[in-house]
Amino acid sequence: MKTIQGQIVDIQNRTIFSGSILVENGKIKAIKKEEHNVKHYILPGFVDAHIHIESSMLVPSEFAKIAVKHGTIATVSDPHEIANVLGVKGVEFMIENGKQTPFKFNFGAPSCVPATTFESAGAVINSDDIKTLMANPDIKYLAEMMNYPGVLFDDSEVLKKIEWAKHYNKPIDGHAPGLRGEDLTKYINAGITTDHECFTYEEGLEKLQKGMKVLIREGSAAKNFEALIDLLPKHYQNIMFCSDDKHPDDLLLHHINKLCARAVAKGNDVFNVLQAACINPVKHYNLDVGLLNEGDTADFIVVEDLKAFKTLQTYINGELVFDNGTSLMPHINFENLNNFNTEKKQISDFKVESQAKNIRVIEALDGELVTNQILAEATIEHGNLVSNTQTDILKMTVVNRYKNDTPAIAFIKNFGLKEGAIASSVGHDSHNIIAVGVDDEAICKAVNLIIENKGGICAVSNTKQDVVPLPVAGIMSDQNAETIGKAYAKLDQMAKDLGATLHAPYMTLSFMALLVIPALKLSDKGLFDGSKFEFTNVEV
């Protein structure tokens, strides 16, 4: 039996009282009101209501070590990134690795693998696979239904996946950026219960009014907190907080605790904030996570105050897993799985012969997954379309990593590079190789560096090159968070030294092949108009 004293935050009854918690055999045996001088607060742990663990570039067991430092005790995790590379085998890897730690990972069955038929992925998860996954008690929900056109047009395979989730009585996550009106109503009526893709207050409000739960997302690239936080006061029972994608350097600094601190600083009622951060995900997804009631599993955190939410201790199943600066999570050994089958490229592979006057250009927006489509004057040298660093319109490529194929080429604005190139095999959703550079030589060099390492992120200049290898499925490291966080931060700085102007250039780069988010993106098969859901030409 252990006793923990503090100011106990009872979120559901909206009170705070001086008391102690008695823990026995991993459960809360009793909660007692008693006077003492302990000033810090005890509250349920934070839950990230939607995250792709793979985006931290860490395997689950390494992610857990850092998350508990910030008071996170559980995640609702979509293993969709590794599934696009390795299929069901990848999902099983995530579950098994996560199970070897006390941390409460709650994995879903990825609903869109591949995300679209307009790109090459490493695997397919069909409705029969969803049936098998849904029968598994380790799978808690059907993960984000990104193929909202499939729902709206009654695609039989999409509807079968949804039916299997309903059959096993598991929630269905949504992903419907900008979807409004009658289309939204149809999407919700299909049984889809959440959305983390709202980018305006009005969109979030309509989704809430129609019965959806809205997740306020603040990741390394997509940041919707400011746009949506004013929904919290009236709708706190139907709002959750999530990261979606969080890079390792960011994760080392903060997690859901930061969203709580920002929400409270804006004058939001602390109980409303904690309802969204701690209670709502547990109830919506029916998670095996304690909520600080007698008889619950002893999952809770001790924080310094209810402003910054600096975590002093984290308990999961009554076990102290983080204590005053030190993570007590175990190190787990695992085998690296991968799927990387392409040969090195030639500079000539990136040439685009053209006499066009104008070209379509992807306009990347800092902190957004959506892009704009703009028209620009073509820059042509020796009959080849090339980058123009003066106008910041740079050549971009997506290279199929699962087989030898011709690289797809497009042009992009707002990366700002003045020299060299950057590349990555983290490319949502199929995780082919994406690169942006000032000339074909630099692009080729960067792509080949990724191929040599069978996955990673890299930067190349005229005089040097640096790479962070990602040997687990080409999207995760086999190192710990401190190592990968430092290496990533160093590479991020090198990209900025080459001229990159975006806050998180690699995170933004990773979404430039995400076809399900409009307006213009590039897949390994060509330039794609996400508004019309069809391929288009670079040349106008």
pLDDT score of 152 = 95
In whole angstroms, what is the distance from residue 386 CA to residue 225 CA?
A: 38
pLDDT score of 57 = 95
- What is the Cα 277 distance to its own chain's centre? 17
* Contact by Cβ (8 Å): 440, 395: yes
In whole angstroms, what is the distance from residue 127 CA to residue 224 CA?
A: 32
pLDDT tens for the chain, 540 residues: list them: 999 999 999 999 999 999 999 999 999 999 999 999 999 999 999 999 999 999 999 999 999 999 999 999 999 999 999 999 999 999 999 999 999 999 999 999 999 999 888 999 999 999 999 999 999 999 999 999 988 889 999 999 999 999 999 999 999 999 998 999 999 999 999 999 999 999 899 999 999 999 999 999 998 777 899 999 999 999 999 999 999 999 888 999 999 999 999 999 999 999 999 999 999 999 999 999 999 999 999 999 999 999 999 999 999 999 999 999 999 998 999 999 999 999 999 999 999 999 999 999 999 998 788 899 999 999 999 999 999 999 999 999 999 999 999 999 999 999 999 999 999 999 998 999 999 999 999 999 999 999 999 999 999 999 999 999 999 999 999 999 999 989 999 999 999 999 999 988 998 999 999 998 889 999 999 999 998 989 999 999
Q: How many CB atoms lie within 10 A of CB 133?
A: 27
DSSP element (H, E) containing 225: helix 225-228
pLDDT score of 220 = 78
Backbone angles phi, psi at 89, to 5 degrees: -60, -35
* Contact by Cβ (8 Å): 379, 392: no
List the one residue out of 133, 126, 122, 217 whose CA is nearest residue 475: 122
Q: How many CB atoms lie within 10 A of CB 409?
A: 20
Query: What type of residue is 385?
Result: L
DSSP tag of 487: H
List the one residue out of 381, 396, 418, 383 whose CA is nearest residue 350: 396
* Contact by Cβ (8 Å): 53, 243: no
In whole angstroms, what is the distance from residue 61 CA to residue 69 CA?
A: 14
Backbone angles phi, psi at 331, to 5 degrees: -85, 135
Q: How many CB atoms lie within 10 A of CB 448?
A: 21
Complete DSSP assignment for 122-148: S--B-HHHHHHHHTSTTEEEEEEE--H
* Contact by Cβ (8 Å): 412, 362: yes
Q: Which two tokens stand for residue 22?
A: 């008695």
Distances (CA, A) of 187 to 198, 216, 242, 434, 494: 14, 20, 22, 32, 43
* Contact by Cβ (8 Å): 315, 301: yes
List the one residue out of 366, 350, 475 whose CA is nearest residue 59: 475
Query: What type of residue is 365?
Result: L
* Contact by Cβ (8 Å): 102, 78: no
Q: How far apart are the first and last CA of the chain?
A: 72
pLDDT score of 221 = 74
Q: Across the strands, what pairs with 322? A: 314, 327
User: Going by C-beta distance under 8 Å and a sequence separation of 6 or more, which residues neighbour residue 447?
Assistant: 345, 397, 399, 407, 423, 433, 435
Preceding peptide of 500 cis, ω within 30°: no
pLDDT score of 369 = 83
Q: Which two tokens stand for residue 294?
A: 């007698």
